[in-house]
Structure 1
Amino acid sequence: MTIDFALARRNMVEGQLRPNQIVHPGLLEALAELPRERFLPDARATIAYVDEAVPLGGDRYLMEPMVLARLIQIMQPSAEDRALVVGAGPGYGAAVLARIVKSVVALESDPGLAKRARSLLSSLGAGNVTVVEGPLAGGHAAGGPYDVILVEGAVPALPDSLAQLVAEEGRLAAIVGSGRPGYPGQAHLGRKVGGTFSSRPIFDAGTPALPGFEAPPRFVF
């Protein structure tokens, strides 16, 4: 069966995103133009535009289009912003942000996914994205501070290590929750004002957990 990906992309924007208050012009334009199917394994390309997380293999997923779009929108990225994407995977979220902001650091811990991201981003002309390999929870301090930080997966809490990388007036968006099916989390927006970082829940959402952010074990007496 031949899939009309351009039509599927338009249907995603007009049928999923716009009706759910995704209104940021640059974000809508990026999502309407970027070939999401290329960021997936060939066997799963046909489901690129369904509103669910798509497995990449190795306990990694491409985040749901709606969740990704809402996380980016609540940060209100702009053309002069410097961004960090944590858990960038094959680079789709980084490619979206690259159409909106000045520069993006795409941090990925899996060498195979990082290699895939470099290839895809280069082929799409995303010259303002730098793919960096390393542990996710610590972020990439060498490139900071950042005006916007996007975490592409659920985490049990917003790590202090990432909050420290947020620039003054900067924003951080992530899904806080277990990442397990049936246990939806909440999208949190963090902001640094006057040197103090604080966050608050914005909307309910679930997405698979991002490895590398496991909650520390609790003592049981």
Structure 2
Amino acid sequence: MVDYSNRRTMMVDTQVRPSDVTKFPIIDAMLSVPREVYVPDQLREAAYMGEHVVLSADRVVLEPRTFAKMLEVLDVQPDHTVLDLGCGLGYSTAVLARLADFVAGVEDDEELANEAQSILSEYGVDNAAVMAGDLTEGAAKSGPYDIIIAQGAVEEIPATILDQLRDGGRIAAIFAEGSLGVVRVGYKSNGVVSWRFAFNATAPTLSGFKKAAAFSL
């Protein structure tokens, strides 16, 4: 019998805390949410390793360090409403649900979305919902949001997503730049989002978030 609770503690102690993640609610959430149930059964052994867990060609469960650092810079509060883009099988949604008032997860793979909702329900996460749909459309009906986070890389973020961010809200994403990537946090004020560098990270680019190819003669 694998002791996953011990692996969770090791993950936090060796991957999360050393990465300057100090907010207690984040530490507590990552110690509490069983990451292994939000990955395919055959990948449970890899759930707590310091790398992305691959769910499909463009979908991963972000490595613990990257995800935790994104949460740290976003500073999610208990009264916040969160939009979680590309949530896979729901791990990020479950962690966010322990930090926020409500989380809307969006997943464009209907099978993943349905399974994510099933797992969340099974584990009593009742302040979150996962919807199947185009990631670039978000979930406007549940918005506007105080926090938006993308669980993968983007090349650009469409106005349809930025419009769902409340004035005073924050958005974080990994921006793909060649073979490298950087996490940036956007702060919305008076309808305009200004971006700031947070740290370096990489991930597969989410479907729909690649720049349109420039037309040339």
TM-score using structure 2 length: 0.95
Residue aligning to 1:207: 203
1:189 matched residue in structure 2: 185
Match of 2:98?
99
* 1:1-221 pair list within 5 angstroms: 2-177=1-176, 183-221=179-217
Offset, 1:134: 0.8
Contact 2:156 / 2:210 at 8 angstroms: preserved in 1?
A: no
| Structure 1: unaligned runs, 5 residues or longer | none
Distance (Å, rounded) in 1 between the aligned partners of 2:203 and 2:97? 22
Identity rate of aligned residues, in percent? 35
Shift, 1:156, TM fit:
0.5
Q: How many residues were matched structurally?
A: 217
> Which AA in structure 2 matches 1:12?
M
Q: Is the 8 A contact 1:171 1:190 kept in 2?
A: yes
Q: SS of the counterpart of 2:30?
A: helix
Checking the alignment, whether the CA contact within 8 Å between 1:39 and 1:90 is kept in structure 2 is: yes
Deviations 1:82-110 (A, max 9, x none): 01001111111110000010001111111
Greater shift in the superposed pair: 88-97 or 199-208: 199-208
CA distance in structure 2 between the partners assigned to 1:212 and 1:85 by the alignment: 15
Q: 1:144: how far off?
A: 1.1
Q: Residue type matched to 2:23 in 1?
A: H
CA distance in 1, matches of 2:54, 2:201: 18
CA distance in 2, matches of 1:39, 1:28: 18
SS in 1 for 2:210: coil
How big is the shift at 1:58? 4.3
Could you say if the C-alpha distance between residues 140 and 72 of structure 1 is closer, same or farther in structure 2, counting changes exceeding 3 Å?
Answer: same
2 CA distance for matches of 1:28 and 1:81? 18
List, as ranges, runs of 4+ consecutive aligned residues in structure 1 with deviation greater than 6 Å. none
Q: Provide the C-alpha distance between the structure 2 equivalents of 1:77 and 1:37, rounded to a whole number of angstroms.
A: 23
> Unpaired segments of 5 or more residues in structure 2?
none
Whole-Å Cα distance in 1 between the matches of residues 126 and 161 of structure 2? 24
Question: Aligned partner of 1:73: which letter?
Answer: E
Contact 1:12–1:49 under 8 Å retained in 2:
yes
Q: Is the 8 A contact 1:184 1:207 kept in 2?
A: no
Instruction: State whether residues 138 and 162 of structure 1, in contact with CA within 8 Å, keep that contact through their aligned partners in structure 2.
Output: yes
Structure 1 position 159, deviation (Å): 2.5
